[in-house]
A = this chain, B = another copy of it.
Amino acid sequence: MADAHAPERPLANGQTRIDFQTEPARYRHWRLAIDGEVATLLLDVDEKGALFEGYDLKLNSYDLGVDIELADVIERLRFEHPQVRVVVLRSGKPRVFCAGANIRMLAGASHAHKVNFCKFTNETRNGIEDLSEHSGLATICAINGTAAGGGYELALAADHIMLVDDGSSSVALPELPLLAVLPGTGGLTRVADKRKVRRDHADFFCTTEEGVKGKRAVEWRLVDEVVPGSKFDEVVAARAREFAAKSRRGAAGPGIALTPLTRGFTANGVDYGSLAVEFDRARRIATMTLRGPVIPPPASADAMLALGAEFWPLRLARELDDAILHIRLNEFEVAAIVFKSSGDPAEVVAYEHFLGANTDHWLVREIRHLWKRVLKRVDLTSRSLVALIEPGSCFAGTLAELPFASDRSYMLLGRRDGDNKPPATIALTPANFGAYPMSNGLTRLASRFLADPSDLDSAKAELDKMLDAETAQRLGLVTFALDDIDWDDEVRVFLEERASFSPDSLTGLEANLRFAGPETMESKIFARLSAWQNWIFQRPNAIGEEGALKRYGTGQQPVFDTRRV
C-alpha cells in the first residue's frame, strides 16, 4: 500500500493531537447568528485554517477541523439554544456553497485518517438529522452557488434544500468522474434512500462532473425547490418561518453553557474527572474507567439546570464522547478498549430514576439523545470493545449499555481473594429498553436477544435489581462469568490474543457481528456505503501514484487498471 506504513502528516500550528473540543470564540470556519427561533449558520472556511500542513481550504472545502466545529455548533444549538426551532445553513462566500472534502487533504491522508474522517463527518450529518427528528430543530439548506461532493452531502442532511435558479448554481456529486472515489459521506445512500431519486437518474447525476441545476434538480428530487436569485433571501426567510411554526421544539430557555471539559493529558492517559483513560501501549489496550456520581441526583429539574454541564450524566457523556474520538483519530495503535467502572451502582440507578421522572424536560431529553449518539459512536468504533465487570463497578442503567455494546464482557463471580469489596453487580433500568437504539433501530438488548424475544422479557422482569454474576450470565447479559482463580489469566490471554490478530479482519468481523437484524439508512451508510468506499480508498485506481486522487490537479490524467472487480 502506498500509505500502509506512512506516518500521519504533521498537524498545523504545532499541535500534537487532533482536538475535538472547541468553542464559538475559537471557530475559524463557521458563524452562528441567532434571531429568536431562527439560527443562521454560515460556512465561511478560512483557507489558511487547515488541520494539517500542506494544503489550503479553498472554495469552502473542508477537513476534519472544519467538521469538528460543525459538530460543536450542533451540540450548542441543542444545549445552549433550546429556543431555536430552525437553522438555515448557508455559505458565507459568493458563488460557492461548499466544494466538499478537500482533495489535497484526502490525497495526502493516511488510510486510517481518511476512514475515520469519513466516519466522523457521517456521524455529524446523522446528528443533524437526529436533531430534526428527535429534537424538532429543522435544517434548511440554502444553496447560492455550487454545492459539490461533500458540499451537496451536507445539504442532503437538511430537511429542505433550496437552490438558487441563476443558470449556474448547481448540486453535484463529481467524486466518481473527478477522483475515482465515491461520495462517501452518505451521499449515495441519501440520494437513493432518503430522497428516493430514481436509480437511473442517480446514475446520471453521480457520473456527471458539472451536476444538475434548475428545474431538473427539482424534477429529479435532488433539491426541494429552486428560487430566482432576486427572491432567494425572501423565500428562504419565509421557509424558515414555516419550519419554525411547525416545529414541536418547546420554546424553553435559557439553555445551559457547554463549558470546556476538564482534561489532564499525560503520556499514558487522560483524566476527565468522571472518566479516566489509561493506555497500556505495550499491550495495545486503552482502559476507560467510568466513575459513578459523587453526589446524589439533584432535588429538582431546576437544580439540574443550575448544575448545567456539571450534571453527572451530561458531563460523563461529553467526556466519553471526547475520549472515544481521541482514540479513534489519535491512537491508531489501540487494539482494544476495555470498559471498567467504579462507583456505587445504587447511586447510578438513582440518577436513572431522576432522569426517568423528568423525561419531559428538554434538558433530560437532550441528555438522553446525547448518550444515544455517544453509544452509537461506541458501536461504530473499530476497536475491539470489552467490558470487565468487577467488584466496585457500577454498570447500571445507561452505563450497562457499555457491556452490551462490547464484543465480549467478563464478570467476576463472587469476591476477589483478600478484597472486601462486595461481589460485582449489574442493574437494568427502563433506559436499557428503549432510550438508546443502535443504528439498526433496535436497542442493544433487543439486538442481543434476536433469537428469542422472551429473553428480553426475562431481562425486563429484573428491572432495578442488583444482579450478581450468576444471574447476569443466566439472563444472557454477560459473555462469561469467571471466578477469581481464572479471571486474570482468562482476561489476559483474551486481550493478548485480540492484539495478535490482524486489525483489518477484526474491523470487518466486528462491523458484521455488531449489527444483526434490520438495516436503516444510517446503518446502510456505515455498512454498504462506507465499506465500499474503504475498499476504493485501498485501490491503486484511487490512491496509487497514477491514481485519480494523487493526480487530481496535476494536469496529468490518471491511469487505471481497467479490470472490473
A residues at B contact (CB < 8 Å): 1, 4-5, 111-112, 115-116, 175-177, 180-182, 188-189, 191-193, 195-204, 206-207, 221, 284, 332-335, 382-383, 406-409, 447-451, 476, 479, 497-499, 501-519, 524, 527-529, 531-536, 538-542, 544, 547-548, 558, 560-565
Q: Which of B199, B407, B479, B503 makes the CB contact (< 8 A) with A562? A: B503
Contact (Cβ within 8 A) B199 A502: no
A536→B505 contact, CB < 8 A: yes
Nearest B residue to A336 by beta-carbon distance? B564
Closest to A526 in B: B528
A180 to B, closest residue via Cβ: B502
A115's nearest neighbour on chain B, judged by CB, is B565
- Chain B nearest CB from A316 CB (Å) reads 24
Known: A497-B207, A563-B332. A192 touches B516 (CB 8 A): yes
Task: Give the residue of B5, B451, B560 whose beta carbon is less than 8 angstroms from that of A196.
Answer: B451
Nearest B-chain residue to A331, judged by Cβ: B564
Are B112 and A476 in contact, CB atoms less than 8 angstroms apart? no
Question: Which 8 A-B pairs have CB atoms at the shortest separation, nearest pair first?
Answer: A531-B531, A180-B502, A196-B451, A519-B519, A527-B528, A508-B532, A192-B516, A200-B479
Q: Residues of B contacting A548 with CB < 8 Å? A: 502
A442→B260 CA distance, assembly (Å): 50
B508 touching A533, Cβ below 8 Å? yes
Inter-subunit contact A512/B540 (CB<8 Å): no
B203 touches A408 (CB 8 A): yes
CA gap between A111 and B536 in the complex, in Å: 13
Q: Which B residues lie within 8 Å of A516 (CB)?
A: 192-193, 196, 199
Provide the residues of chain B in CB contact with A206, threshold 8 Å.
509, 513
**Are B519's CB and A524's CB within 8 A?**
yes
Known: A199-B513, A528-B531. 17 other contacts (CB 8 A): A1-B540, A175-B505, A196-B451, A199-B407, A200-B408, A200-B409, A203-B509, A333-B562, A335-B564, A382-B565, A502-B560, A504-B535, A504-B541, A515-B528, A527-B527, A528-B528, A531-B532
Q: Which of B409, B511, B532 contacts A511 (CB 8 A)?
A: B532
In contact, B196 and A450 (Cβ under 8 angstroms): yes
**Chain B residues positioned under 8 Å from A408 (CB to CB):** 200, 203-204
Of chain B, the residue at the smallest CB distance from A382 is B564
Say yes or no: B503 contacts A207, CB within 8 Å: no
Tell me the nearest residue of chain B to A1, going by C-beta.
B540
Residues on B with beta carbons closer than 8 Å to the beta carbon of A507: 532, 564-565
Given A201-B479, A531-B527: A564 touches B508 (CB 8 Å cut-off)? no
For A449, what are the chain B residues with a Cβ–Cβ distance below 8 Å?
198
B-chain residues with CB within 8 Å of residue A563 when the two chains form the complex = 112, 332-333, 503
CB contacts (< 8 Å) of A192 on chain B: these are 512-513, 515-516
The reply to whether A509 and B564 form a contact with Cβ atoms under 8 Å apart is: no
Whole-angstrom distance from the CB of A161 to the nearest CB of chain B?
15
Give the shortest distance, in Å, between A147 (CB) and chain B (any CB): 19
Give which listed residue, B115, B383, B502, contacts A558 with CB less than 8 A. B502
Contact of A506 among B204, B501, B519, B564 (CB under 8 A): B564
- Determine the residue in chain B with the shortest Cβ distance to A517: B193
B198 contacts A451, C-beta separation under 8 Å: yes
Give the docked Cα–Cα distance between A529 and B529 (Å).
12
> Taking CB as reference atom, which chain B residue is nearest A116?
B565
Kindly list chain B residues whose C-beta atoms are within 8 Å of the C-beta of A506.
176, 564
A497 contact set on B, CB distance < 8 A: 177, 207
A528: which of B175, B451, B511, B518 is its contact (CB, 8 Å)? Answer: B511
Which of the residues B198, B501, B533, B558 comes within 8 Å of A177, measured between beta carbons? B501
> In the bound complex, do residue A284 and residue B562 qualify as a contact, i.e. CB atoms below 8 Å apart?
yes
